[in-house]
Structure 1
Amino acid sequence: MDKKGKKERKTPVKDTFETITTECKTPETIVLLLSSPEEDILAKACEAIHIFAEKGDENKASLLGLGALEPLCQLITHVNKLVRRNAVMALGIMANSDDVRIALKKIDVIPSIIAKLSLEEDVVVHEFATLCLASLSLDFTWKVQIFDNKGLPPLIHLLSSPDPDIEKNSLETIFNLVQDSQSRLAVHALGGIPPLLDLLKSEFPVIQTLALKTLQNVTMDKDSCNTFREEQGFEKLMDILSNTEFRDLHADALEVVANCLRNSESLQLIHKGGGLKRLMELVLAPNLPGIQCSAVKCIAGVAQTSENRTLLHEQNVETVLVELLSAADIGVKTAACQAASAMSLHQDSKDSFRDLGGIPAIVQLLSNDSLVLREAATQALSNLTHSNQLNASAVYEAEGHEILVQQLYGSCARTVANSAATLGNMAEQEVIRCSILSHGAIPALVEPLKSTDTQVLVNSTLCLAVLACETGARAELLSAGGLHPLVNLLHTYQKEVLHNTCLAVNVCATDEPTAVEMCKFGALEILQQINQSVNRRSSFSKLAMISLLNSNVSVKYSLTGHLASTDLIGDGFYDAGKVPAGQRVLTLKELSTQPVNKKRPIIFVNTATE
């Protein structure tokens, strides 16, 4: 028998164990496995992280806290295809978390992710790499990195991928990038418009919508608009707009149309191709208020240049807009008013709206419950009556001035400003001016004079200057307490507000009682300061100063030391002596309350007999 002892090892050290199946139940263990030298274990660990992260943000946060992010970023460049793919999948899901995106800023991962967009990678890698970029591109910092690392060319190429998820993710990333001008120009330069147009035919609404929203940004550039037109983009959009099954896309499609039509050259070319005629047909589409509203907004956007307004006028756009003012839908009526406002910058359009009965129709909308519609209606009337007295008369005949006066008490600053502007335009005619005053315009203007909104102040002071031509209006302003807020506006550094305020002070100062009251509030002293300022003085401020002095000869004599031959001295005149510039001249009543002193006597003219 042989002696018992150890047998010699028959298996060499270089041999390996057979595959051992392990089951991990904790994320801590899985994250540890990301450092394994075994490719099979790495692949399975990445797959497990992907599955775990998909279940919610809490899991993503847990993985982030365990340190999974950095090894995943390294593994997306692994030589093993399966490891690389699973790591990209895990990172793509992880990147949906805000905390993960913040943490990724410390890792230079963008070049590696963009490299995964190459043709050598498979469809799954493309899907999750683009998903990762779509999430990261929400942040400006990442947008810059994606652009600087030349991420746009492969993303544009992937717009033609047969996989809809890749299309959607690539498109979403591009959409986020084109919020910035350099990316908008780059998409055009890299030939991005044709594949974007092709995506309009996608069977997935989310892709169609993203394509339209991306085109909205890209076509803000003139050259891009030209390329869009050359690629029959306008015709493709009109096909969408003519299809009632695509109603959810119409608003976005019309935004792109508006961009294309804003350029006068493009508008002419599209018009020659019958594009404008098709647009007008959409505007009048029956029982489709959503399309009508968007189409009219498109017209309003187009009517921003004089050349475009001329062409639209030649197409009788006013007839269409006037018809829509009586539409049942509030949105359509609002859009029609906005388009009318834009078109009213064209003189012939102003006359067309009047001849077509558009002004009474707009006046009726002033009583609507919708604040937005009332604002749009007052804006339209403001533009229609500007430098057009026939339209002003039409508003008057429709009794619009009565409602406009009431609108001055409103809470919407734009509506108040527009109403004041319209009333000011109308008040140039004496008959209308008197009627406006009879409906309480002066008391209604007092509160707007205290506004902090610049346009409200500009329009209210100008309106007051026109209305105060009437003696009764000046007395009413005095009794309504409007002189103090008017004088306070002389402190403003807003040039147009100051000019209009000086104009109103000049008109109001033609009556001695109002002139004296304004002097009590320091109007003369403020005007003296203004007229000594190189930046603030103007012919308006000088005129206001002269008017105040001419209506208050006692003050004029105290400040200047002399009177003109046209200055009449009567009862109530007093000579209190020379007053230094910038110092307020006290009234006779104020002087009478002071104790007797050794200074020169005050001379008072009083011819009344007992």
Structure 2
Amino acid sequence: MGKKVKKESEPPSKDVFDPLPIESKKAATVVLMLNSPEEEVLVKACEAIHKFAEKGDENRSSLLGLGAVEPLSRLISHEDKLVRRNAFMALGVMAANSDVKRLLKKLDAIPSIIRKLSPEEDVVVHEFATLCLASLSVDFSCKVQISDQEGLEPLIQLLSSPDPDVKKNSVETICNLVQDLPSRVAVRELNGIPPLLELLRSEFPVIQQLSLRTLVIVTTDTDTRATFREEQGFDRLLEFLCNKEFSDLHVEALQVLSNCLEDRDSLQLIHETGGLQRLLQFITTPTLLDIQTNAVKAISRVAQSSENRKLLHEQDIERSLVELLSLEGDSLRTATCQAVAAMSLHLASKDAFRDLDGIRAVVQLLGSEGGEVREAAAQALSSLTMSVCVSAVYEAEGDEGLVQQLHDVIPGAVAHAAAVLTNMAEQEVLRCSILSHGAMAALLEPLQSADTHTLVRATQALAALACDAEGRADLRNAGGLVPLVQLLRSNHKEVRRNACWAISVCANDEPTAVEMCKLGALDLLQEINSSANRRNKFSEIALQRLLDSNLSLKYSLTNTLAPTDITVDGFYDPGQVELVLTLEDLSKQPVNQRRPVITINAKPLDTGCLFPFSFTLSSCSKGKSKGRKEDEKLRDEDESKPQQEVATVTEKPWMLPYDAAFHALVTEATKTILPLHVESEQYSALARLVSEVMGGAVEVDRQHDFLWELHLSELRYELQSNIIPIGQIRKGTYYHRALLYKVLADRIGVSCSLVRGEYNRVWNEVLLSVGMPHYPGCQPQPRAHLVDLIHQPGRLLRANTPQAKQYQTI
């Protein structure tokens, strides 16, 4: 055998590049490597970018500027598992940057990320894919895209992952998604409640907290609460609440419980399993303030149902709530007052709060520095004082604090305070006390509020406090009529309706009604009532009462006074005009050729007839009648007084001049008409008396010879005024006689109406009982008749007959 010779190695291939290890300290270089076709290079580049991005948001922004996001978003779909994993690690960390999130949304990366949530993928891929989605799901449009791409189902499946980071990121993403209602429903339909409940047993508090936050949101849905019960959710929840190690998470757990307790079935289930007692322990046992607060909020949610309130009352919940009112902490006090308000809808609970002196404790909270506490305290008192407990608030001196709260800057506090005052004002003693604290002046600001709820409550309070003369006087003096009338312009239906009701109450006395008319209330109400959409029963009542309180205005505008419209001293007939001026304004006008104004006043000057819109005595003091002589006598006495004293007298309100002639007519009518027992005789006798005073009978074809216009002109010249007392008229036509008939009838208790037609035709209508001639046993029926005052005085004309129509027209 020959000697063996060492075999020479084959030379390396000329077309193979030797491996080149690369180390770079420049991020830009590594970003360029993301476009390499070699998996090993891509793996190392993604790993380097991941480590660099983890160091802070500034680095992430730097990588974004170098263009790292686009190649990474492609690499998460790479066929090599290691490349995909490292690319997801880098992209998951970078997605925390807001600018990166915007770019990923623009690149439409969400579908690719969701596809990698499949069970076949690596756990690390799951971790960083869900991390990406957790960051992206904060944005609304990304939430929608994740839902549209059916990303919720794989996320729910990953809640059972063995990796805690995957669980944490998945539940965080779900928590963000369920902010929208469709996702809440989807969680239930995809059977997401059991894994969420299972996460409560996690050893990681952050996972427990995110699970609870998700449950807080999804249990706002009724069907989800039913599923929660079916999956023994209450057992898990109570187990969690009983563990003191989780006390820092009990707030969220109580919020879930609070949502579920809205359902009667849930409350019954909790009650049977002892959960209700546990809840009450959280209230009464000193613990963290937030825990107590949320426990009380849960009670408020329970108390929304009448059956639940009854059950809570049986547990003596009122005692626990009253004890909490004395504890520190605005959040706890606010929640407790809200619970008191909810429980007060149960009548027995109101009595319990009163017996436990809880009302005084709530009243004291009206002076709290915290605005939410003041609002909640007023809300509790509003609920407590519905039907009962108003005296307890008064005894606790709450009325003064409530009036002060009308100045509060918080609309809710003002609205609730006004509601309490409305409830209290039903009792006269309490109403007087409220007014004594300046309630009407305090209501000025709420009446001008931009908050509609405040406006509604303020107008209700005003109507309740203005039901007597004292309240209306306070309102006028405080200037409250101006904002009240302006509320008639409101476009809010309830505000406008309440304003109409308040005006109808305020119109019960003449000074207030006159002032409101000056402010335009009458025009606004007429405008409202002419609109089919804006008209309501209260606007019709307000208009009617406004007119009823000022019959002079009513007669001028409507041309009719009903038998129930009883005229009194101070009534005047300005004629049929669009703008009715006050007597004071009319008295200042120079003598003109317009229709004279006829006034009524049988009250002597010494007894006084203060008339807020009367004219001066001197304007009607030049006549020769008895009334004018007495006026001159008083004027002479005034002139004989010292100058300073006269100046003092003239500052007093003027009084409507005494009409002695009319007073004499009232006396005569009382003596001659009242003794008559037959209705028809009274009507006819009064007609003859009026005719005799006004110039006697006038034949139909001789009316042109009855110079009543000349007589009125002479009176106007003699008085140097456009205003003429009715008793001084000795020649009167239809409208003078009908007016005199009406005012005399009102004085002696004879029922009649006053109706104005056209061309100075005015007549009186009376009801006369007439039997049926062919049926003697038939009950007489009242029939309308016109009273003839000018042609055949005393004749009663059946309404709608030719004779009556002839009397009504020219």
* TM-score under structure 2 length normalisation: 0.70
Please list the CA deviations of residues 435-486 of structure 1 after superposition, one character each: whole Å capped at 9, or x if unmatched: 2222222222222111111121111111111111121111111111111111
How far 1:327 moved relative to its partner? 2.5
What is aligned with 2:668?
none
- Per the TM alignment, residue 331 of structure 1 is displaced from its structure 2 partner at its CA by 3.0
The residue type paired with residue 187 of structure 2 is: V
Q: Which deviates more from structure 2 when the two are superposed, residues 49-58 or residues 483-492?
A: 49-58
- Cross-structure match for 2:484: 486
1:28 paired to 2:28: yes
The one-letter code of the counterpart of 1:558 is S
The code of the aligned residue for 1:554 comes to S
Output one character per residue of 1:323-355: Cα deviation in whole Å (capped at 9) or x when no partner: 222224443332211101111122332222223
Shift of 1:598: 5.2
Q: Which residue of 2 aligns with 1:420?
A: 418
Confirm or deny: 8 A CA contact 1:199 1:207 kept in the other structure: yes
The answer for the alignment partner of 1:237 in structure 2 is: 237
* DSSP 3-state at the match of 2:261: helix
How far did 1:287 drift? 4.5
Aligned partner of 1:95 in structure 2 is: 95
Q: Deviations over 1:221-266 (max 9, x none)?
A: 2332233233332233223333333232111110000111111111
The 5 A counterparts of 1:444-455 are 444-455=442-453
* 3-state SS, counterpart of residue 262 of structure 1: coil
Corresponding residue of 1:157: 157
How far residue 605 of structure 1 moved from its aligned partner, in angstroms, is: 5.1
Seen in structure 2, the aligned counterparts of structure 1 residues 592 and 93 have a Cα distance that, compared at 3 Å, is farther
Q: Which moved more, 1:225-234 or 1:568-577?
A: 568-577
Whole-Å Cα distance in 2 between the matches of residues 557 and 534 of structure 1?
A: 25
Contact 1:242–1:282, Cα closer than 8 Å, also in 2: no
- 1-side partners of 2:537 and 2:223: how far apart? 46
Shift of 1:595: 6.8
**Equivalent residue number for residue 4 of structure 1:** none
User: Structure 2 CA distance, aligned partners of 1:421 and 1:122?
Assistant: 64
Contact kept in structure 2, 1:341 and 1:379, CA below 8 Å: yes
Counterpart of 1:457 in structure 2 is 455
Distance 1:592 1:104, change over 3 A: farther
Unaligned runs of 5+ in 1: 1-8
Aligned to 1:587: 582
Matched, 1:430 2:425: no
- Take 2:134 and 2:331, find their aligned partners in 1: how far apart are those partners? 34
Residue 196 (1) aligns with residue 196 (2): yes
Instruction: Measure the CA separation in 1 of the matches of 2:93 and 2:524.
Output: 66
RMSD between aligned residues? 2.2
Is residue 2:319 matched to residue 1:324? no
Retained in 2: the 8 A contact 1:220–1:259? yes
- Name the CA distance, whole Å, in 1 between partners of 2:364 and 2:438: 20
User: Residue 292 of structure 2 aligns with which residue?
Assistant: 292
Matches within 5 A, 1:14-413: 15-388=15-388, 391-413=389-411
CA contact (8 A) 1:285 1:291 kept: no
- Comparing 514-523 with 279-288, greater Cα deviation is found at 279-288
Q: Write the distance in 2 (CA, Å) between the matches of 1:310 and 1:74.
A: 63
Q: For each residue in 1:524-569, what CA deviation from the matched residue of structure 2 results, as whole angstroms up to 9, or x when unmatched?
A: 0000011111122122111111111122222212211232344455
Between the aligned partners of 1:590 and 1:69, the Cα distance in structure 2 is 85
Residue type of the alignment partner of 1:374: R
Listed one character per residue, the Cα deviations across residues 492-542 of structure 1 (whole Å, up to 9, x for unaligned) are: 122222222112111111111111110110000000011111122122111
Secondary structure at 1:256 match in 2: helix
Amino acid at match of 1:533: S
The residue that corresponds to 1:528 in the other structure is 526
The one-letter amino acid paired with 1:506 is S
Q: Which runs of 5+ in 2 are unaligned?
A: 1-9, 603-626, 632-810
* Cα deviations by residue, 1:407-448 (Å, 9 ceiling, x for unpaired): 112222111111111111011111211222222222222221
Structure-2 separation of matches of 1:569 and 1:262: 60
Q: d(CA) in 1 for partners of 2:59 and 2:588? A: 83
Q: Distance in 2 between matches of 1:108 and 1:398?
A: 66
In 2, Cα distance between equivalents of 1:99 and 1:416: 46
Deviation at 1:279, TM superposition (A): 1.1
Say if 1:595 and 1:66 are closer, same or farther in 2 by CA, change over 3 A: farther
**Cross-structure match for 1:466:** 464
- Name the counterpart of 2:516: 518
**Secondary structure of residue in 2 paired with 1:387:** coil
Structure (1 or 2) with the greater helix fraction = 1
In our comparison, the structure showing a higher alpha carbon Rg is: 2
2: CA distance, partners of 1:100 / 1:221: 34
Moved more, 302-311 or 427-436: 302-311
Equivalent in the alignment of 2:544:
546
Contact 1:92/1:128 (CA < 8 Å) preserved in 2?
A: yes
**Distance in structure 2 (CA, Å) of the matches to 1:115 and 1:16:** 38
Letter of the aligned partner of 1:396 in structure 2? Y
Matches of 2:177 and 2:124 in 1, distance apart?
A: 23
Identify the range of structure 1 (421-430 vs 444-453) with the bigger mean alpha-carbon deviation: 444-453
**Number of matched pairs:** 596
- Does residue 437 of structure 2 align to residue 439 of structure 1? yes
Cross-structure match for 2:778? none
Give the residue type in structure 1 aligned to 2:386. H
Tell me the distance in 2 between the aligned counterparts of 1:543 and 1:187.
55
TM-score by length of 1: 0.93
Q: Over residues 276-335 of structure 1, what are the superposed CA-to-partner deviations in whole Å (9 max), with x where a residue is unaligned?
A: 111112211134433222111111122222232232223222222122222244433322
Deviates more, 1:118-127 or 1:587-596: 587-596
Q: Distance in 2 between matches of 1:32 and 1:291?
A: 54
CA separation in 2, counterparts of 1:507 and 1:538?
16
